[in-house]
Amino acid sequence: MLPSISYRAQPLSPAFGSPTARANFCEEDFVIVSFIAEFINTCTNAAYIFYAARALRRLPKDASFAAKSLYYGLGLVGVCSSLFHGLLSYHAQMADDTSMIVATSIVLQRAMTYQKTPTFINWFSGLLLLAVITETTYHVMMDEQTVHELSFVSLIIAVAAKTRSLIKLRVQQPKDKKMLQKAVIFGAGKPCAIPVASSSDTSSGNSTLFSAPNSRQSSAWWN
């Protein structure tokens, strides 16, 4: 039998007030420390902050804001998700929900605008921004989950579909292509997103497609 440490019989008194969030996950609350509700979830989401900071430091100094935005989005998810799982407050939950939509929308924007004309990029980005603002406003004002969850799943599906098409277009080696396509399917099902983005060198007119490592936004023990 494997060694284990039992949870305490009664949870500790929350240091920052009782939970007000509508959502809760499979982890026992306030059984390790009084100032963090879901200890494991909070720690795993905090890892996103470390990964985002590390990735930003490794990017070239002249990297575009669009390229950096993928990791800004990941860092935002890490901060908001850590606050939500740590406090289980309603406002932290809204911030976490919003960060999920924003981060996934950034990935979708980068994938959908790869090698597109400036007109299409502006048009698509404007519509996507409007959709994000509309969804977020409705989600916060109406205090509902269904539209938010459907929106997030739709974004994940769109990212996965576009990523697969870009892999078919850009990856030449059959072995690499098969491996990446399996990764997309696996990632979309967890759910998570595999950010495939583009960066344009305006001075030379060249475009470079690169695949960022898995950017996972998932909950509970999926982490």
Q: What is the number of structural domains in the chain?
A: 1
DSSP E strand stretches across the chain: 196-201, 206-211
Query: Is residue 28 marked as binding?
Result: no
Reported as a single tens digit per residue, the pLDDT across 140-185 is 999 888 999 999 999 999 998 998 888 888 887 877 777 877 776 6
In a domain, 4, yes or no: no
In a domain, 25, yes or no: no
**What is the distance between the alpha carbons of residues 184 and 212, in angstroms, rounded to a whole number?**
12
Q: Which residue did the predictor score with more confidence, 95 or 180? A: 95
Query: Is residue 149 marked as binding?
Result: no
User: Cis peptide leading into 3, omega within 30 of 0?
Assistant: no
Query: Is residue 38 marked as binding?
Result: yes
In a domain, 197, yes or no: yes
Q: Is 127 exposed, middle or buried (0-12, 13-18, 19+ CB in 10 A)?
A: exposed
In DSSP notation, 7-67 reads: PPSSPPPPTT-S---S---SSPSSSSBTTBSSHHHHHHHHHHHHHHHHHHHHS-TT--HHH
**Average confidence score pLDDT of the chain:** 81
Q: Are 78 and 43 in contact (CB under 8 A)?
A: no
Range of the domain at 198: 39-222
In a domain, 32, yes or no: no
First to last CA, the chain: 25
In a domain, 31, yes or no: no
Q: Which residue did the predictor score with more confidence, 3 or 217? A: 3
In a domain, 21, yes or no: no
- Give the pLDDT band of residue 138 (cuts 50, 70, 90): very high
Question: What are 200's strand-pairing partners?
Answer: 207
Q: What's the predicted TM-score (pTM) here?
A: 0.77
pLDDT of 193 over the 80 cut: no
In a domain, 28, yes or no: no
